[in-house]
């Protein structure tokens, strides 16, 4: 059964199913399916469909099948099948023993085609693909009948069987439905049902050289599985009459109902598998699971949790109107989830050395630090404190502007959980003039971060003790595209909007020693820097690589507050 995090708000599909149940349609059963084509990795748009299909099944004590829609042999690969199964499981859903492949139905689909031929509803057409297009007509002009439309049933049966036997060249013939070349709906103008494609299939091998088209295979596959509600995205609305036509004219066991919903569009993201494949193949990203990709594999590596993605899918809801969802909402959901679960640690991304002039050379103190102020049951840990520390380079300015409250010459700040320190002197590289070290003093009376005399500081900085620090590589990610709708201003050339600064690799980060044994996949909040997770692929024992999942700045919450005012 699916994991449901909370009672979901009912959507329009719930209302349809409620009505169906009232009249005891489908004997009161609810059976849905998630039907990916194994020609790419799943992305966040698919997550919406997965949550919807598995979620509805769970809501109505029904079931949801996983069916690979593998009717096109050219683009499909086992790698994709395996990644898709892993991703659906990771999201928290279980198809139990209901794993299906449309290719398992090639034999019954062929028999249904024979039935259509015998009943005069399909014919073998010898027009070339270009001619088929010419005969089809346009949105304003009706099409013309194929010269092969009146072939006799015996001739059609003979030719179709010979198509299967491999007697004809690739593309030389098709099997077409005999519907209406003047239909205002172009999908109904004798659509192609089968094409010749002498290619090996990832599951059926060389058993077939004809392959069924999606619009034919899909409704029949649904019916063979006893699907009650076949949920798809809006672009299939115009195909629904064809979906129903196939079911009405074949001797199928049941007639599923197609219901369309609006797909997810996310800002600063592309979601077409063709475009994602292009990003991978052309090396703009390091693979399908690059943490900048909108794929579930990429998001998992980035540190997004299944809980956050499911909460996001719940929040965006299900409707019929297409819109563009703000990426900031997804990031908000990630923060909301990690806030309660991620332990706080201190990590310095761009280290600047600090020497405490009045701190004994060989002393090391254990400072107590709270693991999660949002959840005190997560306890506390000890962080070593000593004479030589690192702070964040950007937390110091030699000549600070008005609103900079952090460390500067002569100024005092708090080191988180530890002491107040004051900057006494600045050491510079004699050649470049770059600040390389700060000479500071600490006030022993401020242990724990509070001054007994009530004196205040305006900033609290994170820090690590130099001698015990763990060195790590940290990867900072930004949006993959600079524009909300990539390519919109460039005639669709989405690559023109690739963000050249989407990845920044920092190789000399210093982290508190509690992170020495951090396990791949575990997540943390680096105080003041964001949520990070240990990369599952590139980390080695003793040499962790951290990915920044998301920063702490929350433009979404700020936007919501501004709207309330």
* Closest listed residue to residue 74, CA positions, set 214, 211, 167, 168: 211
Annotate 382-428 with DSSP letters as a single string.
EEEE-SEEEEEGGGB-SS--TT--SB-TT-EEEETTS-EEEEEEEEE
What residues make contact with ligand ATP under the rule CB under 6 A?
Answer: 35-37, 45-46, 48-49, 232-233, 263-264, 271-273
Least distance between ligand ATP and beta carbon 237 (Å): 12
What is the DSSP code (8-state) at residue 8?
A: P
Strand, helix or coil for residue 472: strand
Query: Please, which residue, 175 or 318, has the CB nearer to ligand ATP?
Result: 318
Query: Please, which residue, 48 or 229, has the CB nearer to ligand ATP?
Result: 48
Among residues 75, 149, 263, 528, the one annotated as catalytic is: 263
Least distance between ligand ATP and beta carbon 318 (Å): 9
Do residues 479 and 502 make contact, with C-beta atoms less than 8 angstroms apart?
A: yes
Query: Please, which residue, 36 or 219, has the CB nearer to ligand ATP?
Result: 36
Is residue 315 annotated as part of the catalytic site, yes or no? Answer: no
Annotate 233-286 with DSSP letters as a single string.
EGGGGGGHHHHHHHHHHTT-S---EEEEEPPPEETT----HHHHHHHHHTTSSS
* Closest listed residue to residue 309, CA positions, set 31, 526, 49: 49
Least distance between ligand ATP and beta carbon 40 (Å): 6
Query: Please, which residue, 492 or 500, has the CB nearer to ligand ATP?
Result: 492
Among residues 37, 155, 336, 437, the one annotated as catalytic is: 37
Distances 192 to 20, 123, 186 between C-alpha atoms, Å: 33, 10, 12
Query: Please, which residue, 150 or 323, has the CB nearer to ligand ATP?
Result: 323
Least distance between ligand ATP and beta carbon 501 (Å): 26
What is the DSSP code (8-state) at residue 6?
A: S
* Closest listed residue to residue 312, CA positions, set 52, 24, 19, 14: 52
Distances 368 to 177, 213, 371, 386, 457 between C-alpha atoms, Å: 75, 65, 10, 14, 20
Alpha-carbon distance of 443 to 435, in angstroms, equals: 23
Is residue 118 annotated as part of the catalytic site, yes or no? Answer: no
Least distance between ligand ATP and beta carbon 295 (Å): 12
Least distance between ligand ATP and beta carbon 275 (Å): 8
**How big is the CA angle at 13 (ends 66 and 61), to the nearest 5 degrees?**
55
Do residues 419 and 446 make contact, with C-beta atoms less than 8 angstroms apart?
A: yes
Among residues 48, 273, 301, 411, the one annotated as catalytic is: 273
Query: Please, which residue, 273 or 335, has the CB nearer to ligand ATP?
Result: 273
Query: Please, which residue, 46 or 414, has the CB nearer to ligand ATP?
Result: 46
Q: Where are the alpha helices (DSSP H) in 137-235?
A: 153-165, 214-224
Instruction: Report which secondary-structure segment, H or E, holds 344.
Output: strand 344-345
Least distance between ligand ATP and beta carbon 276 (Å): 8
Q: Which residue number has the CB closest to ligand ATP?
A: 45
Do residues 234 and 260 make contact, with C-beta atoms less than 8 angstroms apart?
A: yes
Those residues with Cβ within 8 angstroms of residue 52's Cβ, 6 or more apart along the chain or in another chain: 13, 231, 261, 313, 318
Is residue 458 annotated as part of the catalytic site, yes or no? Answer: no
* Closest listed residue to residue 126, CA positions, set 146, 145, 110: 146
How many CA atoms does the CB half-sphere of 447 hold within 13 Å?
9
Least distance between ligand ATP and beta carbon 385 (Å): 50
Q: Which residues of 495-512 are buried (b: 16+ CB within 10 A; e: fewer)?
A: eebbbeebbeeeeebbbb
Query: Please, which residue, 5 or 237, has the CB nearer to ligand ATP?
Result: 237
Query: Please, which residue, 328 or 426, has the CB nearer to ligand ATP?
Result: 328
Least distance between ligand ATP and beta carbon 49 (Å): 4
Q: Known catalytic residues?
A: 37, 263, 273
């Amino acid at each position: 059964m699916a994991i449901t995090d909370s009672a979901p708000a009912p959507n329009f599909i719930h209302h349809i199913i409620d009505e169906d149940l009232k009249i005891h349609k489908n004997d009161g059963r609810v059976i849905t399916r998630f039907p990916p084509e194994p020609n790419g990795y799943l992305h966040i748009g698919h997550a919406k469909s997965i949550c919807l299909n598995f979620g509805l099944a769970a809501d109505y004590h029904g079931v949801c099948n996983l069916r690979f829609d593998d009717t096109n042999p050219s683009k499909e690969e086992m790698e994709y099948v395996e990644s898709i199964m892993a991703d659906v499981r990771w999201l928290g859903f279980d198809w139990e023993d209901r794993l299906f492949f449309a290719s398992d139905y090639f034999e019954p689909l062929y028999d249904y085609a024979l039935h259509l031929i015998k009943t005069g509803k399909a014919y073998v057409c010898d027009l070339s693909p270009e001619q088929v297009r010419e005969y089809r007509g346009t949105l304003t002009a009706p099409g013309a009948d194929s010269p092969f439309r009146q072939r006799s049933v015996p001739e059609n049966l003979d030719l179709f069987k010979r198509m299967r036997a491999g007697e004809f060249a690739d593309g030389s013939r098709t099997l077409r439905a005999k519907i209406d070349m003047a239909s205002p709906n172009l999908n109904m103008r004798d659509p192609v049902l089968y094409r010749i494609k002498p290619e090996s299939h990832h599951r059926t091998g060389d058993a077939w050289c004809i392959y069924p088209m999606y619009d034919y295979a899909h409704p029949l596959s649904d019916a063979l599985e006893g699907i009650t509600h076949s949920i798809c995205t809006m672009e299939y609305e115009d195909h629904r009459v064809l979906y129903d036509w196939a079911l009405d004219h074949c001797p199928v066991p049941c007639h599923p109902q197609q219901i369309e919903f609006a797909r997810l569009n996310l800002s600063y993201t592309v979601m077409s598998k063709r475009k994602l494949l292009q990003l991978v193949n052309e090396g703009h990203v390091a693979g399908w699971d690059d943490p900048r990709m909108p794929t579930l594999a990429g998001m998992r590596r980035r540190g997004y949790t299944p809980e956050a993605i499911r909460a996001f899918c719940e929040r965006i809801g299900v409707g019929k109107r297409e819109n563009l969802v703000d990426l900031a909402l997804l990031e908000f959901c990630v923060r909301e989830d990690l806030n309660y679960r991620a332990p706080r640690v201190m990590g310095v991304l761009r280290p600047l050395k600090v020497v405490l002039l009045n701190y004994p050379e060989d002393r090391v103190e254990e400072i107590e630090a709270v693991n999660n102020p949002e959840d005190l049951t997560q306890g506390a840990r000890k962080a070593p404190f000593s004479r030589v520390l690192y702070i964040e380079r950007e937390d110091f300015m030699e000549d600070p502007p008005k609103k900079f409250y952090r460390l500067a010459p002569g100024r005092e700040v708090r080191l988180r959980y530890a002491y107040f320190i004051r900057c006494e002197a600045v050491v510079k590289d004699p050649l470049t003039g770059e600040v390389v070290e700060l000479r500071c003093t600490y006030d022993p009376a401020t242990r724990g971060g509070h001054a007994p005399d009530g004196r205040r500081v305006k900033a609290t900085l994170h820090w690590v003790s130099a001698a015990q620090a763990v060195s790590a590589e940290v990867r900072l990610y930004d949006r993959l595209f600079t524009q909300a709708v990539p390519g919109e201003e460039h005639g669709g050339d989405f690559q023109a909007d690739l963000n050249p600064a989407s990845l920044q690799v920092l190789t000399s980060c210093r982290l508190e020693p509690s992170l020495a044994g951090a396990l791949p996949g575990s997540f943390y909040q680096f105080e003041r820097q964001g949520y990070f997770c240990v990369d599952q692929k590139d980390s080695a024992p003793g040499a962790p690589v951290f990915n920044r999942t998301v920063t702490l700045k929350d433009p979404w919450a700020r936007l919501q507050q501004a709207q309330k005012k």
